[in-house]
Amino acid sequence: MEQIIVCIKQVPDFSKVPDVPIDPKKGTIRREGIPSILNPPDKNALEEALRLRDSGGGIVTCITMGPPQARAVLQDALVMGADRAVLVSGPALAGADTLSTSYVLAAAIRRLSPFDLVICGRETADSGTGHIAPSLAEWLDLPQITCVRKIEIHGRLLWAQRTIEDGYQEIEGPLPMVLSVTREINQPRPLRLRGVAEAMKKVITTYSPAGLGLEPKNLGLAGSPTQVPRLFPPRPRQEAQVFSGSAAEAVEALVARLRELRAI
């Protein structure tokens, strides 16, 4: 293995802030002041890359597209053990949907060639589309395997277990390839105190869209075929019928009503 590239993203920490404020104009999450973390499935992606490197050699490069504060997730990745980190950033990139985002990431990944593998987390905690890996694979004209829960490398052949609804598939294909991985695939190593000094010696490179030769019309909101015209609260539902009294009384009344509704 020469190089494994891991795409990571900084997302709001929904476990700390369950209800996030929305920017009504852009229809996007208002990030300022919200604690942010490395997207948990991306940690699994990074962990898998580190394991492959630890056993098979090469380097692990993490890449993210985001505002300057996204450096924090690259730093965390370096502390975990990634060798290099790349931030793709620029004001023109804001508001990009997944097509534009994957377009930009693909250009940056090409700049990092040669590489053997691109690994993404299955989806992000915020948008949760799971689009990036297949989109990237298309831009890079590479084979893809999504929802991977186990990987084995044999020479230039990659063997994977792919999770499907009621089981799994075993699929193989040639490197280089793009993968998305599920959280089942591994237990990410923790960030360790001793890793920080090491991480500080490593480099975070910043790429700008202009530096990658990308045209403004393909970036950010301008380069996104999809738009979010508005946000609105869901239709108010009828109030729940809550049964009171002692536990036994409430259960009695509940069962009676369930019968009436033909739910049981």
Please list every residue from 38 through 77 that binds another protein, using CB under 8 A: 71-72, 75-76
200 binds another protein (CB under 8 A): yes
The only residue of 65, 93, 145, 148 in contact with another protein, by rule CB under 8 A: 145
The maximal CA–CA distance of the chain, rounded, in angstroms, is 71
33 binds another protein (CB under 8 A): no
48 half-sphere exposure, CB direction, 13 A CA radius: 31
The only residue of 109, 139, 188, 207 in contact with another protein, by rule CB under 8 A: 139
201 binds another protein (CB under 8 A): no
100 binds another protein (CB under 8 A): yes
- For CA atoms 144, 149, 155, 157, give the dihedral sign: negative
The only residue of 168, 205, 208, 212 in contact with another protein, by rule CB under 8 A: 168
Q: What's the min distance (Å) between Cβ of 264 and another protein? A: 6
Burial class (CB in 10 A: 0-12, 13-18, 19+), 88: buried
213 binds another protein (CB under 8 A): no
106 half-sphere exposure, CB direction, 13 A CA radius: 22
Q: Which one of 47-55, 84-92, 108-116, 249-257 is the stretch in contact with another protein (CB under 8 A)?
A: 249-257
CB of 54 or CB of 172, closer to another protein? 172
Residue with tokens 């997302």: 11
198 binds another protein (CB under 8 A): no
Residue 235 backbone dihedrals phi, psi, to 5 degrees: -55, 135
Q: Are 94 and 220 in contact (CB under 8 A)?
A: yes
- For CA atoms 31, 35, 38, 39, give the dihedral sign: negative
Report the Cα–Cα distance between both ends of the chain, in Å, rounded: 58
Q: Buried b vs exposed e over 100-109: b needs ≥16 C-beta within 10 Å?
A: bbbbbbbbbb
CB of 112 or CB of 191, closer to another protein? 191
Using CA atoms, how far apart are residues 259 and 253, in angstroms rounded to an integer? 10
Q: Which one of 49-57, 84-92, 107-115, 237-245 is the stretch in contact with another protein (CB under 8 A)?
A: 237-245
110 binds another protein (CB under 8 A): no
CB of 88 or CB of 132, closer to another protein? 132
CB of 55 or CB of 246, closer to another protein? 246
The only residue of 92, 135, 151, 186 in contact with another protein, by rule CB under 8 A: 135
99 binds another protein (CB under 8 A): yes
